[in-house]
Structure 1
Amino acid sequence: MSASEIKDLSRLAIHTITTKGWTLEQCVENFSAAGVKGITVWRQALEGRSDAAIAEAGKRIRDSGLSTVALCRGGFFPGKTEADRNKALDDNRRAIAEAAALGAPLIVLVCGAVPGIPLEDARKQIADGIAAVLPEASAAKVKLSIEPLHPMYAGDRSAVNTLGQANDLVEQLGSPWVGVAADVFHLWWDPALEAEIARCAKLGALDAFHICDWLSPMADMLNDRGLMGEGCIPIKKIRGWVEAAGFNGFNEVEVFSHRHWARDPKDFLADIVSSYLKYS
């Protein structure tokens, strides 16, 4: 299939956060009915569930014909105190257990940043944090996929801000259980993006591909993403680069949007499908 058109939904996945008003069960039912083939589960949808209940949710997903693409999210490793950092490690170990119970092959890592911690220190704490939970990830056969975030989040959400930095971390850690989740919202602006996508693929680390659009102006730096075709990201071009690098996984729609969350979720889902087919 050319990078200029999508004619089916066989590689469409949607994050549960995208249809924020629905429970996990509602997401599964409605995504499946719409012809969507994959789902990335956000941990909020699993809150309060035992491992057995999470495993049952995973079975429900599989029985519906959906693939569980990932669990989102782990990370947030930096902390000003050892207690803060240890708390983050415990949370990541819990995420690994949840992913294993759910049947998710990977966890998306939003790596974290803390105001007042220099970026170079935060990046060291991130590397140390991932290394600390790698034994559990390996034992559970759950991959840890670093998601670089746009530089506007460097102060408080992630000190990993380019695909190049994520690739450097993958090389530094040297484990088959560490990879990368590439999100066009965070990476589209980077002049080195095509080359770093190719590098990521050569490392065997290109685990996930997230899509949405960048609105200009943006009303909220976190919760005003657009549907594909509403903004200025060259999604088809970037998809072409990841496919040329050998990626054949899901195209995961991840939209944080107060504007879209205020709509009827079924109407929003219909627009997700149509925009995916037309603009992705």
Structure 2
Amino acid sequence: MQSDAMESPARDRLAVHTITTKPWGLAEAADRYAASGVSGMSVWVEAIEGMKNADVHSTLQNAGIQVPALVRGGFFCDSSADERERRIDHNRRLIETAAEISAEMLVLVVGATPGEPLERQRGWVRDGIEALIEDANSHNVRLAIEPLHPMYAADKSCINRMADARVLCEAVRNPMLGIAVDVYHTWWDPDLDDEIRRAGLLDALFAFHICDWRVPTRDLLTDRGLMGDGCIDIRGIRQMVEAAGFSGWNEVEIFSEEHWARDQQQFLNDIITRYADC
């Protein structure tokens, strides 16, 4: 893809997920991002395991890093009511963590249980979210439902289309609940433009995640591509979300065994270049 200064998003809206540069620890990632002019970092819970929230916050603050999101909460689905309640309690703690590290939102990958009807599971997801809304409001942490590609419907997410997430937002009707639009999971949807527009009318476009879908894809989980290395119309989808009112971070989220094995600074440099191009 060729650069177009009139179309390229500003660098100050670029954020990178810690999972993208997984070999770096939190402090190194924060320092490297900041030194490269990247001021946003969405923090995965795995990146801060064993750390005190106050230490996470000071590490990010000292580097001048802002936090669009804590990733990932959710996973509400289980056949056991007791287990579902335990998972809601876990999400309450994640909301507290998000607040204490100054994350704007908690991204929800809602979960799925093989063998249970998807519609029943979507009811569990609604129950879980409704149980968390008061906590989200009191901590000023937004909840962003992330629809996952249908290939994950069996065991990772019973919310697979923008429409599924939008219906949940309409049912709960709370300004703290919205949607994380990940191009990897949504690019295929023939209703995407209309669903993004409808989410915009609800003020429910909370996050925008970018990467690319490689052709052929060698692994459905850990072979995401750099922007421009695949078939997704990233610029077109960005224009859709911005036309619908989104003005937040553009978050690079790449799971890739290939890229994790590279020199991570060069990988980050490539991310910045491709962000401008695509």
**Aligning the two structures, in what range does the TM-score lie when normalised by the shorter sequence?**
over 0.9
Q: Secondary structure at the match of 1:93?
A: helix
Cα-to-partner distance string for 1:105-164 (whole Å, 9 max, x where unaligned): 100000100111110111110011111121211111111110001111000100001111
Aligned to 1:77: 76
Equivalent residues of 1:3, 1:239 under 8 A apart? no
Distance 1:142 1:7 in 2: 26
Distance 2:5 2:89 in 1: 41
Aligned to 2:40: 38
Aligned to 1:63: 62
Q: Give TM-score scaled by structure 1 length.
A: 0.95
Aligned to 1:49: 51
Aligned to 1:126: 125
Distance 1:105 1:58 in 2: 13
Q: Deviation of residue 57 (structure 1)? A: 2.1
Q: Give TM-score scaled by structure 2 length.
A: 0.96
Cα-to-partner distance string for 1:3-43 (whole Å, 9 max, x where unaligned): 97326411110000000011111110000011112110000
Cα-to-partner distance string for 1:72-128 (whole Å, 9 max, x where unaligned): 010000001112212211211111111011011100000100111110111110011
Equivalent residues of 1:105, 1:143 under 8 A apart? yes
Aligned to 1:28: 30
Q: Secondary structure at the match of 1:10?
A: helix
Aligned to 1:160: 159
Aligned to 1:10: 12
Q: Secondary structure at the match of 1:22?
A: coil
What does 1:1-280 align with in structure 2 at a 5 Å threshold? 5-6=7-8, 8-50=10-52, 54-279=53-278
The residue identity in structure 1 corresponding to 2:219 is: D
Cα-to-partner distance string for 1:40-78 (whole Å, 9 max, x where unaligned): 00001111123xxx1332233233222111100100000
Distance 2:178 2:10 in 1: 27
Distance 1:126 1:256 in 2: 25
The residue identity in structure 1 corresponding to 2:18 is: T
Distance 1:135 1:72 in 2: 20
Q: Secondary structure at the match of 1:39?
A: strand
Distance 2:11 2:32 in 1: 14
Q: Secondary structure at the match of 1:125?
A: helix
Distance 2:5 2:37 in 1: 21
Distance 1:156 1:7 in 2: 35
- What RMSD over aligned residues (CA atoms) do the two structures have, in Å? 1.4
Give structure 1 stretches of 5+ with no counterpart. Answer: none
Distance 1:245 1:124 in 2: 28
Runs of 4+ in 1 over 6 A off after TM superposition: none
Q: Secondary structure at the match of 1:62?
A: helix
Distance 1:216 1:222 in 2: 14
Distance 1:141 1:13 in 2: 21
The residue identity in structure 2 corresponding to 1:237 is: G
The residue identity in structure 2 corresponding to 1:30 is: R
Distance 2:136 2:245 in 1: 25
Distance 2:129 2:257 in 1: 32
The residue identity in structure 1 corresponding to 2:180 is: A
With over 3 angstroms needed to count, the CA separation of the structure-2 counterparts of 1:184 and 1:7, relative to structure 1, is: closer
Comparing 122-131 with 62-71, greater Cα deviation is found at 62-71
Amino-acid identity (%): 49
The residue identity in structure 2 corresponding to 1:241 is: M
